[in-house]
Amino acid sequence: MKFNTKTIHGGQEHDKAYGAVMPPIYQTSTYAQTTPGGHKGFEYSRTHNPTRAALERSFASLENGNFGLAFSSGLAAIDAVMKLLQPGDEVISTNDLYGGSYRLFTQIYAKFGIKFHFIGMENADRIEDFVNENTKLIWVETPTNPMLNVIDIKKAASIANKHNILLGVDNTFATPYLQQPLNLGADIVMHSATKYLGGHSDIVMGALVVKDKDLADKLYFIQNASGAICGPQDSFLMLRGIKTLHVRMQRHCENGKAVAHYLNNHPKIEKVYWPGFEHHPNHKVAKAQMSDFGGMISFTTKGNSYEDAIKIVEKLKIFTLAESLGGVESLSGHPASMTHASIPKEEREKTGVVDSLIRLSVGIEDEADLIEDLRQAIG
């Protein structure tokens, strides 16, 4: 099955009771048993729910994996991965990381004795310098948030393989439409499904997909034991969102390209970060591992003024100033004061999150309206 068919049919079967084309919302916590243990595969909805199971099969299908897991949020999905580790284990992660992931690692898991190395991975060979006998996980986000750095997944996978370390990839920005990390050698792919997979800014959810049965069993155990699952109603909405992922992504990419070029030619704009530019430092890697460049763009203004950036995001009308990304509607954000406020200024500036940086999630509205909105806001 090709990707554009998988979004609609991947892992799905018609309802056995009445032939419903959409999976029914099994709004139930428990299931009748004829005799103790005599059930139809479902006992309790923290462990299994048919609507969530349909969604988990869809996740697995989209990422070319064998097993999918749905969680109550993207961070709950990452949290489940972290629970594979023991005190004393070490993790090598990119230094240009989603702020919430950084917070989870440094403020929750560090105190349980897990050691993190946050490093620049634009040159993926550097990862190997930080590997030792305690390294158990390499955590990659690509393209990164919000600097749109691109990390070579194949290279990271070859280092992980050589040293028998798990490689996890946060594929939230690219989506499986653009990039399929398991095909490139990753062990775990993670999504904040809140973003592009759901696509309509109406659900908070996380996903993991793996190929290996043993790894899947460990993660299912954690999912059930810790209990950060999503409900049947949200599972249904997520399945509905996924059905249009490929058409939405196509338009996100087209509009993203137009906006990136507009900003790049604007006299008041200093720098535009978008992996589709030939001047992007890892454009070649992006071209090799992604099928297009997505709808996420960051830029800075000349003079790098905090106040100018705030003025721009306040003036934008179609681009709504809001946290989050990946919905049909265009959003703007000011990472230094919003998504990345939990990262100390010194740390964030090292990775390029300066005061004037603005991040855009380019939606699927009309391209001309989006450009006009930027024109009136930037001046």
Ligand X SMILES: *Cc1c(COP(=O)(O)O)cnc(C)c1O
- State the catalytic residues: 46, 98, 170, 195
Please pick, from the candidates 170, 234, 292, 355, the single residue that binds ligand X as defined by CB under 6 A.
170
Please pick, from the candidates 204, 249, 296, 343, the single residue that binds ligand X as defined by CB under 6 A.
204
Segment contacting ligand X by CB under 6 A, of 11-19, 161-169, 187-195, 348-356: 187-195
Site string for ligand X, 209-248 (x = CB under 6 A): ----------------------------------------
30-66 as b/e: b if 16+ CB within 10 A: ebeeeeeeeeeebeebeebbbbbbbbbbbbbbbbbbe
Segment contacting ligand X by CB under 6 A, of 70-78, 250-258, 281-289, 300-308: 70-78
Which CB, 80 or 370, lies closer to ligand X?
80
Q: Cα–Cα distance between 329 and 122 in angstroms, integer?
A: 30
Which CB, 62 or 269, lies closer to ligand X?
62
Cα end-to-end distance, the chain, whole Å:
47
Q: How far is the CB of 141 from ligand X (least distance, A)?
A: 6
Q: Do 249 and 175 touch, CB atoms closer than 8 A? A: yes
Subset of residues 113 to 142 that bind ligand X, contact rule: CB under 6 A: 141
Subset of residues 5 to 64 that bind ligand X, contact rule: CB under 6 A: none
Q: C-alpha distances in angstroms, 375 versus 191, 295, 340, 357?
A: 33, 18, 26, 17
Q: How far is the CB of 195 from ligand X (least distance, A)?
A: 6
Q: How far is the CB of 171 from ligand X (least distance, A)?
A: 9
| Number of Cβ atoms within 10 Å of the Cβ of 341 | 13
Task: State the residue number with the nearest CB to ligand X.
Answer: 74
Which CB, 24 or 100, lies closer to ligand X?
100
Q: How far is the CB of 295 from ligand X (least distance, A)?
A: 13
Q: C-alpha distances in angstroms, 275 versus 170, 230, 240?
A: 17, 33, 29
Segment contacting ligand X by CB under 6 A, of 3-11, 45-53, 67-75, 209-217: 67-75
Q: How far is the CB of 104 from ligand X (least distance, A)?
A: 9
Q: How far is the CB of 355 from ligand X (least distance, A)?
A: 21
Which CB, 187 or 234, lies closer to ligand X?
234
Which CB, 269 or 336, lies closer to ligand X?
336
| Nearest Cα residue to 159 out of 188, 186, 191, 197 | 186
Q: Cα–Cα distance between 130 and 176 in angstroms, integer?
A: 29
Please pick, from the candidates 12, 142, 145, 361, the single residue that binds ligand X as defined by CB under 6 A.
145
Q: How far is the CB of 245 from ligand X (least distance, A)?
A: 16
Segment contacting ligand X by CB under 6 A, of 69-77, 309-317, 350-358, 370-378: 69-77
Subset of residues 253 to 292 that bind ligand X, contact rule: CB under 6 A: none
Q: How far is the CB of 98 from ligand X (least distance, A)?
A: 4
Q: Do 72 and 66 touch, CB atoms closer than 8 A? A: no
Subset of residues 72 to 111 that bind ligand X, contact rule: CB under 6 A: 73-75, 98, 100-101
Please pick, from the candidates 194, 289, 298, 351, the single residue that binds ligand X as defined by CB under 6 A.
194
| Residues written for the chain | 379
Q: Do 198 and 230 touch, CB atoms closer than 8 A? A: no
Segment contacting ligand X by CB under 6 A, of 129-137, 179-187, 192-200, 267-275: 192-200
Q: Which residues bind ligand X (CB under 6 A)?
A: 73-75, 98, 100-101, 141, 145, 170, 172-173, 192, 194-195, 204, 206
